[in-house]
Amino acid sequence: MNQNNHQPEPSKISAEFAARLDAFGPTAMVRAIVLLQAAGPGPTGGRRQNAAQREAAVAAVRESATTALPAIDALLENFGGHRLADRPDALGALPVEATVAGIRALGASESVRAVLEDQQVHRIR
């Protein structure tokens, strides 16, 4: 609960994903994308960045997100899971595989912004 206005904290796992997780049971292994807490490059003043600035921004997000990896790794280990990538991507996202209980634990972590379903992308037409 948020103590300032007594509204519930928004969930880091969508209601739809949570419902699908419930259908599997706590020990089923699932894949998810974990969006790590990461500091961005800051405001750009509405200007388009040049290549060097974009590269620096990606490096800053990756470096910031990487500081969350020890906490993520500990949670994954506790729930029989593992990372599916060596490091976070340019958006601070990290694919993981863990039990449903592990995915829920990741959703409760302060190191995590959100937990998303790892969905296959299909061609529309």
Give 38-83 pLDDT, tens digit per residue: 876 666 566 888 888 888 888 888 888 899 999 999 999 999 999 9
What pLDDT score was predicted for residue 123?
60
In this structure, of 9-18, 24-33, 71-80, 92-101, the range with the lowest mean pLDDT score is 9-18
Name 36's bridge partners.
112
What pLDDT score was predicted for residue 124?
67
What pLDDT score was predicted for residue 6?
46
Whole-angstrom distance, CA of residue 69 vs CA of residue 36: 9
How many angstroms separate the Cα of 44 from the Cα of each of 54, 84, 102?
A: 10, 32, 37
In the chain, how long is the greatest CA-to-CA distance? 48
Is residue 75 classed as helix, strand or coil in its secondary structure?
helix
pTM here? 0.79
